[in-house]
Amino acid sequence: MTAHEAPDDLGPERPGLPEGFRIDGEWELGAVIGSGGWGTVYEGRSLADGTPVAVKVLPTGSLAPGTRTAFGELVAREVRFSAGADHPHLVRTRAVRTLAVPDLPALDGATALVMDRAEASVKDVLDAAEPGRAVADAARILGGVAAGLAHMHGAGWVHGDLKPANVLLGAGGQVWLADFGLAVELDGSHAHLPPLGTLDHLPPEWWSQRTGTLGSVVRPTADVWAFGILAHQVLTGGLHPFPGATARARSLAAQSYARGTAPLRLDAGLDEGWRVLIADCLAPDHASRQPHTAQRLAARVERLVRDARPHRRRTGPVVAALLGLTAVAVAGMALLGGDGPAGGDRAGDRRTAGATGPATGAPGRGAAAGTAAPGALRPDADVPDALRPVIDRAAHRCTDEEVTPALLAAMLKVESGFDVNAARPARDEYGIAMWTPSVFRAWAVDGDGDGDKDHMSAPDAIATMSLYACWLDQRFKQEGLPKEDLQALIVAGYRTSDRTVIEERGVPERVRPHVEEVLRHLAAYER
């Protein structure tokens, strides 16, 4: 949400919750991370397993009656959207609670959103950036933002407040859209929003439209405009595409451009592909921006991310340094790295160093000789020879012990029978790992390091399967699901979703036969 445009009468001094405050005996609050226009975000941790979380507390008690209705509506929206958001590029809300704090009347009855905790926002990165130079990992960050937006628009929502502060970066390199207080559900082609967006990211047409009782009309093209501004900032170390020392001056410059009285002057240092994409996002009005849907932009950004890859092999650690990440977080980033052999090798080394048993990090069947690590493939397993090194390498991207070569092989066996050309068009699933292309895009890993991420390429599809399995594994651990069931749950999550498995706290009935078949193969494949 926006700090500058929020009404001033949200309450005098905003009261805070003390460190150590517990929510429902499940989470404990720590220090304040920051406050926005509507609420305060605290560090927190799960009392069950110490998992770090961020808790956003949205009070309503201290508001003037006139403000309360509008604010209550925004809170309801944030809660409604957050609870339903389920995508790797949208920050995950783990729980929504109503606080009971009779001693602090202003916070009694406040809503608390318990979210995955980020390390930093893109705003933090831009604040530390050198103007004129793209921030480290710029293309990948923008790829995540575009994929998150495409998902929101596809699901019938508009973000409404896309800006650097609302793009969060997780400790493992994840890119999450956040702050859904202004997210609105589309009613046909548009929705209504109170006039609250951020000046610097509002489209020029916003200023000329009348604000009705329902608020301003907001359409997906407003997010596309905001993405254009954000992309320019990320690719130029924070430079806004419109001139002016203040947000208001820049918004006036944007309006002059939209009226045709000033040209669009993008930074001269931008690569041609990005320049064209940003110019499309910054088309002067709703109609001319409309063809550039978030879905199309996401596909274009993905191509640009791919093209940028040879130059960014070494950027993961740079982002880590910039964000002050820990060694553990850097290790997580190697796991997530879709950067081909470099990322894979780092993960392999780490596994070697950390493992108590002999290393299986070396790709290929060499690992089958001598003492094999748990989960290594049996030499007589019916897995095609050519795939063994690919599966080994993919499994070693994940440092969690449940994601083994035998598990991935058993999943592939049942998904496609190791057929690289397998297809189930009715379910929109293709290739050896039966990826749905739009889902694959959100996770895609370049398994063979050829600069391309293709769900029909076995190395890419299998490496991506491993990454996704690893993430599922970590989710289920965070949720405290039984350790002995984790492999079965990963298989079930791959066929359904993390949320379905977590909600059912086990293997959903409808995928039970599939899971049992995979487990049979797993038993036969494991050394």
Binding-site sequence positions for ATP: 56
- With beta carbons less than 8 A apart as the criterion, state whether 192 and 198 touch: no
41 scored as a contact of ligand ATP (CB under 6 A): yes
Among 33, 104, 262, 423, binds ligand ATP (CB under 6 A): 33
Alpha-carbon torsion, ordered 273, 278, 279, 284, to 10 deg: 160
Q: Which is nearer to ligand ATP, 42 or 257 (CB)?
A: 42
Site track 63-92 with ligand ATP (rule: CB under 6 A), x = hit: ----------------------------x-
Residue 70: beta bridge partners?
Answer: none
- With beta carbons less than 8 A apart as the criterion, state whether 373 and 358 touch: yes
- With beta carbons less than 8 A apart as the criterion, state whether 78 and 113 touch: yes
Among 117, 219, 292, 514, binds ligand ATP (CB under 6 A): 117
How many residues bind ligand ATP, per CB under 6 A?
24
Site for ligand ATP in 417-446 (CB under 6 A): none
Residue 22: beta bridge partners?
Answer: 28
Burial class (CB in 10 A: 0-12, 13-18, 19+), 150: buried
Among 75, 168, 224, 434, binds ligand ATP (CB under 6 A): 168
| Residue 31 CB, nearest approach to ligand ATP (Å) | 11
Residue-by-residue DSSP string for 371-412: SPPTTPBPTTSS--GGGHHHHHHHHTT--STT--HHHHHHHH
283-309 as b/e, with b when 16 or more CB fall inside 10 Å? bbebeebeebbbbebbebbbebbbebb
Among 118, 253, 294, 304, binds ligand ATP (CB under 6 A): 118
Piece of 151-159, 165-173, 228-236, 250-258 that binds ligand ATP (CB under 6 A):
165-173
| Residue 223 CB, nearest approach to ligand ATP (Å) | 15
Q: Which is nearer to ligand ATP, 169 or 224 (CB)?
A: 169
Number of other residues whose CB lies within 10 A of the CB of residue 117: 20
Site for ligand ATP in 178-197 (CB under 6 A): 178-179
Q: Which is nearer to ligand ATP, 183 or 390 (CB)?
A: 183
Give the phi and the psi of residue 302 in degrees, each rounded to 5: -60, -40
238 scored as a contact of ligand ATP (CB under 6 A): no
Residues of each annotated binding site: 56
- Positive or negative torsion for Cα 170, 451, 377, 422: positive
Closest Cα to residue 57, out of 97, 13, 102, 7?
A: 97
Number of other residues whose CB lies within 10 A of the CB of residue 95: 16
**Cα–Cα distance between 46 and 65 in angstroms, integer?**
35
Residue type, 24: D
Burial class (CB in 10 A: 0-12, 13-18, 19+), 262: middle
262: three-class secondary structure by DSSP: coil
Among 17, 27, 39, 392, binds ligand ATP (CB under 6 A): 39
37 scored as a contact of ligand ATP (CB under 6 A): yes
| Residue 453 CB, nearest approach to ligand ATP (Å) | 27
| Residue 169 CB, nearest approach to ligand ATP (Å) | 9
**Cα–Cα distance between 62 and 105 in angstroms, integer?**
8
Residue type, 119: E
Q: Which is nearer to ligand ATP, 148 or 348 (CB)?
A: 148
Piece of 20-28, 35-43, 150-158, 479-487 that binds ligand ATP (CB under 6 A):
35-43
34 scored as a contact of ligand ATP (CB under 6 A): yes
Q: Which is nearer to ligand ATP, 165 or 411 (CB)?
A: 165
36 scored as a contact of ligand ATP (CB under 6 A): yes
| Residue 177 CB, nearest approach to ligand ATP (Å) | 11
Among 115, 266, 467, 470, binds ligand ATP (CB under 6 A): 115
Q: Which is nearer to ligand ATP, 68 or 296 (CB)?
A: 68
Q: Which is nearer to ligand ATP, 54 or 434 (CB)?
A: 54
- With beta carbons less than 8 A apart as the criterion, state whether 476 and 493 touch: yes
168: three-class secondary structure by DSSP: strand
Piece of 34-42, 149-157, 313-321, 385-393 that binds ligand ATP (CB under 6 A):
34-42
Q: How many CA atoms lie within 13 A of 142 on its CB side?
A: 32
Piece of 116-124, 248-256, 278-286, 404-412 that binds ligand ATP (CB under 6 A):
116-124
CB-closest chain residue to ligand ATP: 36
Piece of 30-38, 97-105, 392-400, 518-526 that binds ligand ATP (CB under 6 A):
30-38
Piece of 27-35, 284-292, 354-362, 511-519 that binds ligand ATP (CB under 6 A):
27-35
- With beta carbons less than 8 A apart as the criterion, state whether 414 and 366 touch: no
121 scored as a contact of ligand ATP (CB under 6 A): yes
526: three-class secondary structure by DSSP: strand
**Cα–Cα distance between 144 and 156 in angstroms, integer?**
19
Q: Using N-to-C axis directions, what is the helix angle for 327-336 and 315-323, rounded to 10°? A: 140
**Cα–Cα distance between 436 and 4 in angstroms, integer?**
41
3 scored as a contact of ligand ATP (CB under 6 A): yes
Among 142, 147, 158, 165, binds ligand ATP (CB under 6 A): 165
Residue type, 505: R
Locate 450 and state its tokens.
């050829």
| Residue 33 CB, nearest approach to ligand ATP (Å) | 4
| Residue 300 CB, nearest approach to ligand ATP (Å) | 27
**What is the contact surface with ligand ATP in residues (CB under 6 A)?**
1-3, 6, 33-39, 41, 54, 56, 91, 115, 117-118, 121, 165-166, 168, 178-179
